[in-house]
Structure 1
Amino acid sequence: MTSNETGTHGAVLEDTPPEKDRPLVELRGAGKSYGNIRALHGVDLKVFPNQVTCVLGDNGAGKSTLIKIVSGLHQHTEGEFLVDGEPVRFSTPREALDKGIATVYQDLAVVPLMPVWRNFFLGSEMTKGPWPVRRLDIEKMKKTADEELRNMGIVLDDMEQPIGTLSGGQRQCVAIARAVYFGARVLILDEPTAALGVKQSGVVLKYIAAAREKGLGVIFITHNPHHAYMVGDHFSVLRLGTMELSASRSEVSLEELTNHMAGGTELASLKHELSQVRGVDVEELPEAGDLTAPVATSSEGKS
């Protein structure tokens, strides 16, 4: 157990306030190969404070590889990876966390039978008393966890309730609040709404926006363009390990983003195939030209 009276990572990051005109995290032509398999190639990405950067892509597009590079789990094999303008090459996720890069994965890495406050401080528990008889400062952890959750707009009646009894959206929000408390400047969210219903997805999207308002740079990984467009400031679409689209909100509509995400050419081909099947009406489906309409991409700050 480690003492964390003021927030272990927050103390490290106090001397490096974010500059709004400089990306917190940047990838330049980054790529990753596993032997002869090239999972990611030539990816440019910029994450600024007070912005939500949405990374979209179908299964196998390279989203997971991108997460692993930025979170320090894997090292890039080509291009550059910069944090605060300085080239880095993380060896472990702990090194990324020390730089303020926190990742909330789909499984959330929580212990379902442990209470909410214990999961909030899991691995970074507060302690009190002299060594060697230091003990957990349970009351302070409960109070701090409750305050931090309330700051994010999450009100729980009982901090002692097992976190497994919370809804999926509430568990996601606890994980987001935890990352904010421990000094995250860049928050990576891996498909946070993938297994949630409409109402719970809305709850999570609200707290993603709240994290942005607190000054964080958020990387929102998703395959749902509608969720991305609700909170996103910049959109990057991956396809087969390369960046197909990089555009700000003002440069792309939801319909265009959806078509890029789904693959306009593939949908046009599917329409042709469906037209050969009896009983399928394809007259109302969009034409190939509508699906593959060009979208302006960002000329400055690709992300």
Structure 2
Amino acid sequence: MTTFDKTAAAPREDADDSPLVEIEGLTKSFDAVRALQGVDMTIRSGQVTALVGDNGAGKSTLVRCLTGVQSADGGVIRFRGRPVRISSPDAARKLGIETVYQDLGLIEDLQVWQNLFLNRELVRGVPPIRVLDKRRMIRQSAEVLKTLDVAVPNVRATVRRMSGGQRQSVAIARAANWGKTLVIMDEPTAALGVRETAAVEKLIGRLRESGVTVLLISHDMAQVMRVADTAWVLRRGRAVAQRDVKQTSGDELVGLITGAVAGDADG
């Protein structure tokens, strides 16, 4: 389990600038469709990196290659400077990569603590007699939610009784609990209202302060400007631009997405 240390929180400008993930020349095709056409990009440690682009730009395909759902046809992915082959979701998890998808992947009739430890249950006893260590899982779940300041009624509450924002927060907490190095979030606030969106964005900030690296896929340029450190723009399967969020604007990012503004890799 990841241990979050509030005392380790650092200001935005002091984040580690070293690459956690380096992607070089990544390609992926589906029959005649070239979804990724030699993508080059980096994800830096301890930062929130936004991945933006229009529908069909290649964002989802890139995420699936990073999480082992699909294998790239070509190119290299380096993790902490070492080339890796992410051949399955299990391989991604062993690297400490966790993903929060739009469908969240929560079991509605299970309690919060059961969802946090789903398929990773803690046990006690001596083989062959081993039983679930419910008390430890409940305690650790409460600690994680408290540290991340996730507002849910109780770790014994079922997910079905929760609001959309609470469900999203539980899914993010689960990913952060197991994602020791990188948490990928796919449109985490797309179906949420203003208040719930603000709560999720605060949670993203707390992850960053705790040293968790975040890759955020979002169509909301205002959100990108609020929470991200760096933005990468994908267009037609290529990474056409990278921008420091503090030195760009939402309008420029939209222009880069549509092609109205020339990107670094254009021409």
TM-score normalised to structure 1 length: 0.78
Question: Does structure 2 conserve the Cα–Cα contact (< 8 Å) formed by 1:187 and 1:217?
Answer: yes
- The partner residue of 1:210 within 206, 230, 237 is 206
Tell me what 2:7 maps to. none
Could you tell me how far 1:185 is from its partner in structure 2?
0.7
Deviation per residue, 1:57-101 (Å, 9 max, x gap): 121111110100111111211221111111111211111110111
Q: Whose Rg is larger?
A: 1
Question: Does structure 1 conserve the Cα–Cα contact (< 8 Å) formed by 2:150 and 2:203?
Answer: no
Question: Does structure 1 conserve the Cα–Cα contact (< 8 Å) formed by 2:49 and 2:214?
Answer: yes
Tell me what 2:59 maps to. 63
- The partner residue of 1:52 within 29, 48, 54 is 48
Question: Does structure 2 conserve the Cα–Cα contact (< 8 Å) formed by 1:49 and 1:212?
Answer: no
What is the rounded CA distance, in whole Å, between the counterparts of 1:108 and 1:235 in structure 2?
24
Tell me what 1:179 maps to. 175
What is the rounded CA distance, in whole Å, between the counterparts of 1:55 and 1:144 in structure 2?
32
Could you tell me how far 1:251 is from its partner in structure 2?
3.0
Find the residue that maps to 1:129 and give its secondary structure: strand
Could you tell me how far 1:26 is from its partner in structure 2?
1.1
* RMSD, matched Cα: 2.0
What is the rounded CA distance, in whole Å, between the counterparts of 1:131 and 1:252 in structure 2?
58
What is the rounded CA distance, in whole Å, between the counterparts of 2:182 and 2:235 in structure 1?
24
Find the residue that maps to 1:134 and give its secondary structure: strand
Aligned residue type for 1:189: M
Does 2:233 correspond to 1:241? no
Tell me what 1:257 maps to. 253
What is the rounded CA distance, in whole Å, between the counterparts of 1:225 and 1:73 in structure 2?
27
Aligned residue type for 2:172: I
What is the rounded CA distance, in whole Å, between the counterparts of 1:127 and 1:219 in structure 2?
32
Does 2:186 correspond to 1:194? no
- The partner residue of 1:117 within 85, 102, 113 is 113
TM-score normalised to structure 2 length: 0.88
Tell me what 1:223 maps to. 219
Which stretch shifts more, 239-248 or 105-114?
239-248
Find the residue that maps to 1:145 and give its secondary structure: helix
Aligned residue type for 1:194: A
Q: Which runs of 5+ in 2 are unaligned?
A: 4-14
Q: Which runs of 5+ in 1 are unaligned?
A: 1-6, 11-18, 266-291, 299-303
Aligned residue type for 2:159: I
Tell me what 1:156 maps to. 152
What is the rounded CA distance, in whole Å, between the counterparts of 1:162 and 1:57 in structure 2?
36
Which stretch shifts more, 81-90 or 158-167?
158-167
Question: Does structure 2 conserve the Cα–Cα contact (< 8 Å) formed by 1:22 and 1:85?
Answer: no
Does 2:16 correspond to 1:37? no
Aligned residue type for 2:75: G
Q: Percent identity?
A: 39
Deviation per residue, 1:160-183 (Å, 9 max, x gap): 211122222222222222222224
Could you tell me how far 1:264 is from its partner in structure 2?
6.0
What is the rounded CA distance, in whole Å, between the counterparts of 2:249 and 2:240 in structure 1?
16
